[in-house]
């Protein structure tokens, strides 16, 4: 089954440094690189590498960054026939990665602020089995997109990041909601991940709260229904680990696999991604994931 991803495409500008910079401090970094990113592009690549048939609906600028991002998606086998080229510059993300593998990110949306929603976009969403969205595109566009998916019977999957508080409509339109621990607590107002998952599952369909090295929680109908065990690795770079998790989970579900298998595959994929540098380039392929699953 096909997967439609409505989301952002950014050029990642990545600096590696020993530790976080203090206010007013100048620090020498240890490495600089550029690479394809944006939560939408990342999730599309993760889906495609995991075997999904993916169409990406997004926007880039008429610049070198935009051309590179389009080439990246094409190389991964993602359908880019609905990728728009607009007047605004391509979005960027300024990322710092410290020696312990943690990252901080500042995003400049650029072309991702484009809010056009065409008949062709609508047709792609209606024909997809799953719609995957994040919050690096205009919220009004995402509400329109998810309503169209709901009307067509397409399963809606929302990653509420970057998190904000005015998301009641989007959460209610989510068949699958995948926040991390902090996002879940901010969305729900609950003091911990478990209570947040329970509260959010009264609004959305299935809620999967990712907990990093502690695995994940799954809630439905106001109750915790599963706890996903972590896979322990030594992280090198945690950039796009959550996007890897979502993309692989959706690819497995779209292939008709049960929830338990999809969550296990997503956990393995995310654990592999954090042992490699970069965003989209760090994501494992289907055979890598299956190899680890068979060993387990």
Binding site listing for K(+): 237, 239, 273, 276, 278, 282
Contacts of 111 (CB under 8 A, 6+ apart): 9, 59, 60, 61, 66, 84, 86, 88, 89, 90, 91
- CA dist 125 and 286 (Å) reads 24
Q: Are 32 and 14 in contact (CB under 8 A)?
A: yes
Helix/strand/coil for 290:
helix
Q: Which residues are annotated as a binding site for substrate?
A: 10-12, 38-42, 136, 243
Q: Are 55 and 79 in contact (CB under 8 A)?
A: yes
Catalytic positions are: 243
Residues 6+ positions from 158 with CB-CB distance below 8 Å:
133, 134, 146, 170, 171, 173, 174, 176, 177, 178, 204
φ/ψ of 209, rounded to 5, equals -100, 115
* Residues paired with 223 in a beta bridge: 220
Beta bridge partners of 61: 86
Q: Which parts are annotated binding residues? A: 10-12, 38-42, 136, 180, 210-215, 237, 239, 242-243, 273, 276, 278, 282
Nearby residues of 48 by Cβ (< 8 Å), 6 or more positions away: 54, 76, 77, 78, 251
Annotated binding site for ATP: 180, 210-215, 242-243
Is 79:54 a contact under the CB 8 Å cutoff? yes
Rounded Cα gap, residues 89 and 247, in angstroms: 26
Letter string b/e over residues 78-89, b meaning 16 or more CB atoms within 10 A of that residue's CB: bbbebbbebebb
Q: How far apart are CA 236 and CA 270, in angstroms?
A: 12
Max distance between CA atoms of the chain, in angstroms, equals: 53
């Amino acid at each position: 089954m096909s997967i439609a991803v409505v989301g952002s495409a950014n050029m990642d500008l990545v600096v590696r440094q020993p530790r976080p910079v203090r206010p007013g401090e100048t620090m020498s970094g240890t490495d600089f690189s550029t690479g394809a990113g944006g939560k939408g592009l990342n999730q599309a690549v993760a889906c495609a590498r995991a075997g999904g048939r993916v169409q990406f609906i997004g926007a880039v600028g008429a610049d070198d960054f935009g051309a590179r991002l389009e080439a990246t998606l094409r190389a991964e086998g993602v359908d880019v026939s609905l990728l728009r080229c607009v007047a605004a510059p391509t979005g960027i993300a300024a990322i710092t990665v410290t020696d312990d593998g943690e990252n901080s990110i500042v995003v400049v949306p650029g072309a991702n602020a484009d809010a056009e929603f065409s008949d062709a976009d609508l047709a792609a969403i209606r024909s997809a089995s799953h719609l995957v969205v994040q919050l690096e595109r205009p919220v009004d566009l995402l509400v329109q997109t998810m309503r169209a998916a709901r009307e067509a019977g397409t399963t809606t999957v929302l990653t509420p990041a970057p998190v904000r508080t005015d998301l009641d409509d989007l959460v209610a339109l989510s068949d699958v909601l995948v926040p991390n621990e902090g996002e879940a607590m901010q969305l729900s107002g609950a003091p911990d991940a478990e209570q947040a998952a329970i509260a959010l599952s009264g609004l959305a369909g299935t809620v999967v709260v990712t907990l990093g090295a502690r695995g994940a929680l799954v809630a439905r109908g106001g109750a915790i229904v599963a706890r996903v065990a972590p896979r322990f690795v030594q992280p090198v770079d945690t950039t796009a680990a959550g996007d890897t998790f979502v993309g692989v989970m959706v690819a497995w579900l779209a292939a008709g696999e049960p929830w338990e298998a999809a969550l296990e595959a997503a956990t393995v994929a995310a654990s592999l991604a954090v042992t490699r540098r970069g965003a989209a380039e760090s994501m494992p392929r289907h055979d890598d994931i299956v190899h680890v699953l068979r060993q387990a």
